[in-house]
Structure 1
Amino acid sequence: MTDTQENRGLVTQSLVRNAGAALRSSGTLCLRSLMDLCTLGEALVLLDRVESLDSVDRHSSPLTDRLEREGLYGTLRPTLSGGDLRRLLLRMPTELASRTILPDGQDSAARVDGDPLAGGGDPPVSLDDLVAQVDRLVAFHSAGEVGSERAYRSNGYLIVAAAHGLDYFPDFERGTFTAGCLQKVYRSLPMRLYEKVAESLDESLTGGDVVSEWAAISTIPIPPVGALVLDRAASPAEVPEALLRVREDFARYRRYFADFKAELAAADTIKERNRLRTTYQVLLDEASGPGAEVVSLAGMLNLTQSVVTAAATPTSVTSYGALLLTQPIEWMQRWWRRRPLSILFRMDGKLPRLSVYRDLVGKLWGEQAAELVLDELAERAQQQRLLLADA
């Protein structure tokens, strides 16, 4: 496995906090905490380890304490300073930089009425619409300052993860906004950059394969981690132990996923990358077992190579695209192949097992919690399916 493709990921403090809150008592369960608990479980099946940024109010719970003792959860202390990250941000594509607030350790999980991230108001019909709605909130601080700032901070985590070569797991209410911003970034990059990538791979732009392969949000099968963990636990307090057992059961899946990323980074052509996707789709589906669900994968920008690190030319304001266009063909090929992933939670992938989740939530948190949470899950899963349909 290459240095830039380590099987680790960055998770937000919000995700960790919400997952821990789900296990405190029946009164704390909501859709957000249940989904972030499922996301954390899926991250630990996919990856060897997850990390969150250090902060003065770093969240701790019986769940995180157990994961830390097992070496599965830890602290990311960025190798780039805050100043370096801010200078790096100056060179990012405008579509990303203008929608980014760098993490400052105050990762609020608050929600506001009318915020698209909280599911209020009319459901957006595309990722572009979602991003536009959040952009409008920024112009009217009294209407949604907290929610819009949280959305923009999500892209700060994206940049930190990409700068350290880590996969990124946004929390439940940030995932689709992250997907929308990545889509806008790839659409905003100059066509000459795509041409240079195609040249480095000895590919033609005629069929559109480079552009579509670069910007696509694809899906992979994943074990039904949430359902299996909840099934094995007799109470919320038993969930951490159940999660560790499920993780152990899917060691083969985790190995396949690590191999998939490593081979994808080494593939010389788009044809070979497509062949790998087909091969590993079958392997991952088989290793997922019955009732497989899905997560989405979106390629992030590769910020790990020296020309785009802030320390290289700390006072430069040269644009990201312009910097890339000056690089040799071999460098460009490595840069393109070694992009880390943003891994996006898919509620709609749980719809076929909705009755299973309803029974499991009722068993652990009570029938009233099951009715409220699962009704919201069904409604919002359909909205998410529409959002991601155009990606």
Structure 2
Amino acid sequence: MAETGENVALVTQTLVANASTVLSRPDALTLPLFLDLCALCEAVVLLDRLEALGAADEHVTLLGGRLGGEGLYRTFQPTLSPDELRRVMLRLPDELAKRMTLDAGDAGDPGHAVDATGAVTGLDYTTGLNNLLAQVDALGGYASCGDCSVKERMYRGNGYLLVAAAHGLDYFPDFDRVPFVAGTLQKTYRSLPRRLYDEVSGSLDEPLNGGELVAEWAAMSTIPIPPISALVLARASSLDDVPEQLLRVRDEFRRYRRYFGDFKAELSNADTVRERRKLLTRYQALLAEASGPDRETVSLTEMLNLTEKAVKAAAGPALPTSYGALLVTQPVDWIRRWWQRRPLAILFRLDSKLPRLSEYRHLVGKLWGDEAGHLLLGQVAGHGTRLRTLLADAEPA
């Protein structure tokens, strides 16, 4: 769990295992595993530390062990018990509650749940995100890790989102889960009652309607980041050298981490939407300067703390069963604080990474071989348009 002043993210053991796999088994390189490696590199450089949920069948990897030895990666047990988390789930908006699976035992390659381009087996990505989520609801028993179905694997990503929000952590989902986590965030905000948005607007003393609040507070914002993966791969003399170069790149961007931590702290204390807009503009410039040339982008959003108050009130039989109904009964000052004090959830968005992947081909060829570089570029071409269209459909109206 994050300590005061720390910038910490929840990652899955699958993300770390996937990143380690492509370093130890060059023949296993695919687009989703490569992008998980990139996401892990970015998380290591951008943040102070990474944490994963502990599990009885914990997956130990060389990369995870190296990061753990440096104090940058560790497992933890949630401070909320499974029973408390399940009670929280009963008060979530329906669109989120029915897409929640809590299970810490998530480690290893997702297997044939996804193809080489990262597409989830059995789903049609051309129908838009809402239909995609409906398709996941209808999925049956495509095997994933162990006896877990694809459906459970996708929704367990939302369970991690809830745990991260409850503990004040950022969240880096692994590649194939990104669209489903992004879609869940959008649907969570949209499913809250209109009266709650009226209460939030009133508490902020700003004339914003519900739609404007969703657009302002729930929409993804992009911030500049250093070209982390490209730097690490360009400097590595071999796949075995990647962890060492990752730690060196991390050390170079201490100033960036300080700016990013300051940005998050100031954002949580901003009292008005106007202040938040100014902060975003100011820190986008500072982060761009600290990123150096050839910077990339990462998209971020905020996750409502869906556990606050509801956990304490969950045992009260006379209270409303709807989370939204519970919220609108709170004092105005409480609603304002609840709305403002949300942890950031960094989502590794494919729409900002995919257009640049052709530039990585020579780096992939250097470390994995020319054939691997050509194959990866083909996978990008096969999946990029599909996912960009899918994510574009997910943006708030």
TM-score (normalizing by structure 1) = 0.92
What SS does structure 2 have at the residue aligned with 1:22?
helix
Question: Does residue 1:385 correspond to 2:391, yes or no?
Answer: no
- 1:97-134, Cα deviation, whole Å (9 max, x unpaired): 10111124144623336998427654335332322221
State the percentage of identical aligned residues: 57
Question: Does residue 1:195 correspond to 2:207, yes or no?
Answer: no
Question: Residues 348, 210 of structure 1: CA spacing in aligned structure 2 closer, same or farther, 3 A cutoff?
Answer: closer
| C-alpha distance in 1 between matches for 2:32 and 2:269 | 37
Out of 304, 307, 310, the position equivalent to 1:308 is 310
Question: Does residue 1:271 correspond to 2:274, yes or no?
Answer: yes
CA shift at 1:373, angstroms?
1.7
CA shift at 1:64, angstroms?
0.9
Query: 2:390 corresponds to which letter in structure 1?
Result: L
Question: Residues 291, 162 of structure 1: CA spacing in aligned structure 2 closer, same or farther, 3 A cutoff?
Answer: same
Query: 1:23 corresponds to which letter in structure 2?
Result: L
C-alpha contact 2:228 2:249 (8 A) present in aligned 1: yes
| C-alpha distance in 2 between matches for 1:325 and 1:107 | 39
What SS does structure 2 have at the residue aligned with 1:203?
coil
- 1:76-98, Cα deviation, whole Å (9 max, x unpaired): 21111111111111111111010
Say how many residue pairs are matched: 386
C-alpha contact 1:4 1:338 (8 A) present in aligned 2: no
* Correspondence 1:107-186 to 2 at 5 A: 107=107, 109-112=110-113, 117-118=119-120, 122-137=124-139, 140-141=140-141, 146-186=149-189
Could you tell me which runs of 5 or more consecutive residues in structure 2 were left unpaired when the two chains were aligned: none
Question: Residues 171, 113 of structure 1: CA spacing in aligned structure 2 closer, same or farther, 3 A cutoff?
Answer: closer
Counterpart for residue 218 of structure 1: 221
C-alpha contact 1:351 1:381 (8 A) present in aligned 2: yes
C-alpha contact 1:4 1:166 (8 A) present in aligned 2: no
C-alpha contact 2:53 2:104 (8 A) present in aligned 1: no
Question: Residues 128, 173 of structure 1: CA spacing in aligned structure 2 closer, same or farther, 3 A cutoff?
Answer: same
* Correspondence 1:84-103 to 2 at 5 A: 84-103=84-103
CA shift at 1:323, angstroms?
1.5
Larger displacement relative to structure 2 (16-25 or 278-287): 278-287
* Correspondence 1:187-266 to 2 at 5 A: 187-206=190-209, 208-266=211-269
| C-alpha distance in 2 between matches for 1:387 and 1:199 | 34
C-alpha contact 2:224 2:284 (8 A) present in aligned 1: yes
Counterpart for residue 333 of structure 1: 336
What SS does structure 1 have at the residue aligned with 2:24?
coil
C-alpha contact 2:52 2:76 (8 A) present in aligned 1: yes
CA shift at 1:387, angstroms?
2.1
| C-alpha distance in 2 between matches for 1:259 and 1:357 | 31
CA shift at 1:283, angstroms?
1.5
C-alpha contact 2:113 2:142 (8 A) present in aligned 1: no
* Correspondence 1:9-20 to 2 at 5 A: 9-20=9-20
CA shift at 1:357, angstroms?
0.7
Counterpart for residue 284 of structure 2: 281
TM-score (normalizing by structure 2) = 0.90
Question: Does residue 1:322 correspond to 2:325, yes or no?
Answer: yes
Query: 2:99 corresponds to which letter in structure 1?
Result: R
- 1:262-311, Cα deviation, whole Å (9 max, x unpaired): 11111110011111111111111222111111111121121353x122x4
Question: Residues 303, 157 of structure 1: CA spacing in aligned structure 2 closer, same or farther, 3 A cutoff?
Answer: same
Query: 1:177 corresponds to which letter in structure 2?
Result: F
| C-alpha distance in 2 between matches for 1:117 and 1:156 | 21
CA shift at 1:320, angstroms?
1.2
Query: 2:222 corresponds to which letter in structure 1?
Result: T
| C-alpha distance in 1 between matches for 2:138 and 2:126 | 13
| C-alpha distance in 2 between matches for 1:120 and 1:218 | 31
- 1:231-276, Cα deviation, whole Å (9 max, x unpaired): 1111111111111111111111111111111111111100111111
Larger displacement relative to structure 2 (365-374 or 269-278): 365-374
| C-alpha distance in 2 between matches for 1:313 and 1:100 | 18
What SS does structure 1 have at the residue aligned with 2:113?
coil
CA RMSD of aligned residues (A): 2.4
Question: Residues 222, 26 of structure 1: CA spacing in aligned structure 2 closer, same or farther, 3 A cutoff?
Answer: same
- 1:119-166, Cα deviation, whole Å (9 max, x unpaired): 7654335332322221232xx446997211110111111111111111
C-alpha contact 2:230 2:363 (8 A) present in aligned 1: yes
C-alpha contact 2:173 2:347 (8 A) present in aligned 1: yes
- 1:309-341, Cα deviation, whole Å (9 max, x unpaired): 2x4433657221111111111111111111112
* Correspondence 1:27-106 to 2 at 5 A: 27-106=27-106
CA shift at 1:383, angstroms?
2.4
What SS does structure 2 have at the residue aligned with 1:221?
strand
Query: 2:149 corresponds to which letter in structure 1?
Result: V
C-alpha contact 1:346 1:384 (8 A) present in aligned 2: no
Question: Does residue 1:364 correspond to 2:367, yes or no?
Answer: yes
| C-alpha distance in 2 between matches for 1:223 and 1:339 | 25
| C-alpha distance in 2 between matches for 1:207 and 1:169 | 28
Could you tell me which runs of 5 or more consecutive residues in structure 1 were left unpaired when the two chains were aligned: none
